[in-house]
A and B are shown apart, each in its own frame.
Chain A
Amino acid sequence: MSRRRPAASALACALALAAVPGVPAAPPQAVHDVRPAQVAPDVQAAQAAPPAPQPRADAATLDYRLAARALAPGVYVVEGANADFTRANGCNIINTGFIVGRDGVLVVNTGPSRRYGEQLRALIARTTPLPVTQVLHLNLHPDYFLGNQAFADVPRAATAATLEGMRAEARAYEDNLYRACGDWMKGTEALLPDRGVAAGPLVLAGRRLELRELRGHTASDLVLLDVESGVLFAGGLVFVQRVPTTPHAELAAWLASLDALEREPIRTLVPSHGPVAVDARGIGQTRRYLLWLDRSFTAAAERGLELHELLAQPVPEEFRGWAAFDTEYPRTVARLYPRYEARALRAP
């Protein structure tokens, strides 16, 4: 009770409220073996869109049982549970990734905890003999950088806006994830990026990588395209079969960013949350949800509904079937509806 808490905007992180009971843990599935780099990556399998392997985290040993799945030669995804933060999944609900170049490895996001970062780095070492030479953070959210302690010796890059946001929210993120996932978080302290990055070509010897800076999910949303393979790391802009998180959302900007994404030559889309998709359908899912939110909140505010009455309004079947609906949707209502109310109350 006396513990000092982050203030409103910090609380408004998707994770502030993560310790909600009743979220089903990821279904237990077979642990997928790491594919050694010398084995030809199973690109066919990736294109056939296999169910996302969701390694069952082991709470007794605090082992996330991370597995790397090749989406294209040298392009790997490390898939988290499609769920909300729970102790059962160790707060691992993010898809991180790494791209192997000629001389070194680029890591895309470092996961929710120090332990995750360490296990990710060990997984990379088991996958390729090449050293990790760069870390890239696609936005400011906690599971994009709380694994950074394992990459303290590696250059870590984020945009200026993302770095600023991380600096403001880091303490709150630590508190919230400790509260949600306890022992999994032991020893985790935010280690911030140490350099900036801008949109454009990203240098990784032996690969053509393009970085775009969009916005709307947060103030700065990076997406990373591996040009040869068409694998796009879409960060937080696209959610697949998972209710989008909105702690820093600006819906109009987000929708414009989705339009921009649709023009990219995407063959495989890696969302930060939800299964990897072999096409761009996640963009449509996210757009439908955001448009519906906007329409539904506008209509409710114009009718004079209270927040708790809005929560009792019907929600389309499609969205109710996505992961984390029971927790994420009420959070979004609590966070975004007051803006619509304020607008409606100012109207004549």
Chain B
Amino acid sequence: MLPDSTLRSRRRLLLAGAAVLLPTSPRAAPAEDAPFGGDPYGSLQWPELRKEFLGRDARAAFDPRVVVRGPAFAEDPMNVPIGVSAEGLQDVERIVVLVDRNPIRKVLDFEPLAAATRPALSFRFKLEQASPVRAAVLTRDGLWHLGGTVVESSGGGCTVPGATRRDGSWTQTLGQVSGRLFEGGAGTFDGAAARLRVRVMHPMDTGLAAGIPAFYLRQLSVHEAGGAELLRLATWEPVSENPVFSFDFRRRPSGPFRITGVDNNGNRIEGRL
């Protein structure tokens, strides 16, 4: 799922053209021998999680500019709403969302490709039990900036089938795309100029409910009029059924938007908003 080098360079160009380069540095260097790898949540899983998803030699530090908003308690463990923003950071290349105590720990990997695209998104995911929910934000200097929140739960989001799987209605709606561009402005969307909300109908089966193999969206891209790719999102099983995503923009992008994607069975997603 890592973008190939061509895409990477193209993105760098876009970013370099747009960003006002301010010197930024995370507050603290990673404490390799601190308990729990210096994790503010004291999570036993964190050191391994970090090695697995960021890399053994990754440079990473907890950074208050990575803001993860979520509920204190998962009212519906199959739809836990999370907002991630790294708007305080320059040159963000990727945002990876990880959940320590989920059976499938990687939720998504977001690339704000265009200068207009904020390093911020909202989504819902399935939570199996109380856990830290983390965002790891990679900036162009190769440093991972880490933020998170803890969501309590009475458990059980990943191992039961979703509603449309149980009633069979998913076959009627698979791949349907709906969405809308909303005007931002002062006091709305943290000051973003616009927000695109996109909903894709998909059962997002985790493979952990008996007899139902994993079936989930793998990738989603949003292109604005003229074809420029505004953002790209890789998704995994924990993203909620019939996912709704919100993407925020520094300038109002121009529609109509083309939404493309693919699931793990090779079904193409194609929509126009």
Say yes or no for B161: interface residue by CB 8 A criterion. Answer: yes
The residues of A that contact B65 with a CB separation of less than 8 Å are none
Say yes or no for A156: interface residue by CB 8 A criterion. Answer: no
Interface residues of B in 193-207 (CB under 8 A from A): 195, 197-199
Q: Which of A303, A342, A346 contacts B188 (CB 8 A)?
A: A303
Across chains A and B, which 7 residue pairs bring their CB atoms closest together, nearest first? A304-B182, A5-B156, A334-B75, A307-B81, A306-B122, A8-B163, A7-B160
Within the assembled complex, what's the spacing in Å between the Cα atoms of A345 and B179?
5
B195 to chain A: closest residue by CB = A304
Say yes or no for A152: interface residue by CB 8 A criterion. Answer: no
Say yes or no for B155: interface residue by CB 8 A criterion. Answer: yes
Number of interface residues of B (CB under 8 A): 39
Say yes or no for A48: interface residue by CB 8 A criterion. Answer: no
Within the assembled complex, what's the spacing in Å between the Cα atoms of A330 and B244?
19
A-B contact count (CB 8 A): 96
Say yes or no for B38: interface residue by CB 8 A criterion. Answer: no
Within the assembled complex, what's the spacing in Å between the Cα atoms of A27 and B198?
47
A residues adjacent to B (C-beta < 8 A): 1-9, 11-12, 16-17, 19-20, 176, 179, 303-304, 306-309, 311, 330-331, 333-335, 338, 341-342, 344-347
Q: Is the CB of B83 within 8 A of A308?
A: yes
The residues of B that contact A308 with a CB separation of less than 8 Å are 69-71, 81-83, 122
- Tell me, rounded to whole Å, the shortest Cβ–Cβ distance linking B164 to chain A: 9
Say yes or no for B218: interface residue by CB 8 A criterion. Answer: no
Q: Is the CB of A6 within 8 A of B122?
A: no
Q: Is the CB of A345 within 8 A of B159?
A: no
Q: Is the CB of A345 within 8 A of B75?
A: no
Say yes or no for B76: interface residue by CB 8 A criterion. Answer: yes
With A303-B188, A307-B124 as given contacts, are A342 and B199 in contact (CB-CB < 8 Å)?
yes
The residues of A that contact B161 with a CB separation of less than 8 Å are 7
Within the assembled complex, what's the spacing in Å between the Cα atoms of A207 and B75?
43
Say yes or no for B246: interface residue by CB 8 A criterion. Answer: yes
Q: Is the CB of A344 within 8 A of B180?
A: yes
With A307-B124, A308-B71 as given contacts, are A3 and B156 in contact (CB-CB < 8 Å)?
yes
Interface residues of B in 158-208 (CB under 8 A from A): 159-163, 166, 178-180, 182, 188-189, 195, 197-199
Q: Sample 14 A-B pairs with CB under 8 A, ordered by A number.
A: A1-B103, A5-B155, A7-B161, A7-B166, A8-B162, A20-B73, A303-B188, A304-B189, A306-B81, A306-B122, A309-B83, A334-B76, A345-B179, A345-B180
